[in-house]
């Protein structure tokens, strides 16, 4: 079998970087051996393993004025990391690390206050695109309460009719390719991992969602994109990443 060593240590040597940087890249989900994602930084691999590291894009500015900054967040960046490159801004909401799309930041505290109130009052219109496993042939409204458990910086949500909070998701098929369906998703509530949990609950997990579905060899990420967000008279739209439909329908 030959010698084995922890994945992050091998990556550090191979790429000429620190152990902590190598571990961070594996945790981010951008390190591969062939077509397989390296999931556990401390997992042991043969010492001759050859790694491939995906390049993480920079956030693109969609719109900016004196009170608000709208970004198109790339996958593999946390919302906090995406915001870090901009001075004097505060996140108004968050997207999961692998989710791309519209991310809003307030530049003025007066706007932050009004926007926070709009989110709380559900006066925000949010549209997502995603690819799911299986065939969805007609529009569906999913109304199932969600309970989120947060522990050690990790969040997990599940359907819980007794303790869960109200959650409403509307889905509509846009395209069918093979055994997968592209959906347009509108959410009325913003529970943690809401779309992912609701789609799993009806037997159609998002393609590439390793936490609530199954990993897919055809994609290196979860195929969920925040397409549009309307609030306080603004309407922000973010283009889907290049190749989003190719990997979804693959």
First to last CA, the chain: 35
Distances (CA, A) of 14 to 19, 22, 39, 125, 222: 11, 10, 18, 46, 27
Q: Which two tokens stand for residue 23?
A: 């571990």
Contacting residues for 229 by C-beta, under 8 A, at least 6 apart: 70, 102, 104, 124, 125, 126, 127, 235, 236
DSSP reduced 3-state for 167 = coil
* Residue located via tokens 């890249």: 25
Q: Are 134 and 177 in contact (CB under 8 A)?
A: no
Q: Which two tokens stand for residue 200?
A: 């799993």
Catalytic (active-site) positions: 96
């Amino acid at each position: 079998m030959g010698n084995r060593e922890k994945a992050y240590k091998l990556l550090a040597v191979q790429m000429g970087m620190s152990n902590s940087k190598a571990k961070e890249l594996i945790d981010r989900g951008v390190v591969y051996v062939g077509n397989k994602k390296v999931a556990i930084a401390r997992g042991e691999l043969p010492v001759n393993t050859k790694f491939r590291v995906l390049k993480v894009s920079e956030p693109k500015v969609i719109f900016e004025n004196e009170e608000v900054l709208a970004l198109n967040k790339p996958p593999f960046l946390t919302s906090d990391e995406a915001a870090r490159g901009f001075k004097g801004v505060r996140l108004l909401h968050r997207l999961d690390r692998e989710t791309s799309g519209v991310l809003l930041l307030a530049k003025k505290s007066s706007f932050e206050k009004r926007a926070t109130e709009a989110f709380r009052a559900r006066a925000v219109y949010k549209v997502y695109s995603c690819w799911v496993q299986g065939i969805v042939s007609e529009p569906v409204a999913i109304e199932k309460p969600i309970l989120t458990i947060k522990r050690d910086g990790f969040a997990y949500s599940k359907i819980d009719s007794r303790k869960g909070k109200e959650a409403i998701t509307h889905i509509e098929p846009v395209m069918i390719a093979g055994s997968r369906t592209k959906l347009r998703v509108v959410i009325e509530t913003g529970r943690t991992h809401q779309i992912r949990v609701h789609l799993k609950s009806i037997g159609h997990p998002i393609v590439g969602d390793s936490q609530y579905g199954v990993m897919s060899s055809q994609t290196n990420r979860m195929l969920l994109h925040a397409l549009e967000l309307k609030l306080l008279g603004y309407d922000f739209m973010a283009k889907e990443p290049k190749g989003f439909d190719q990997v979804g329908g693959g």
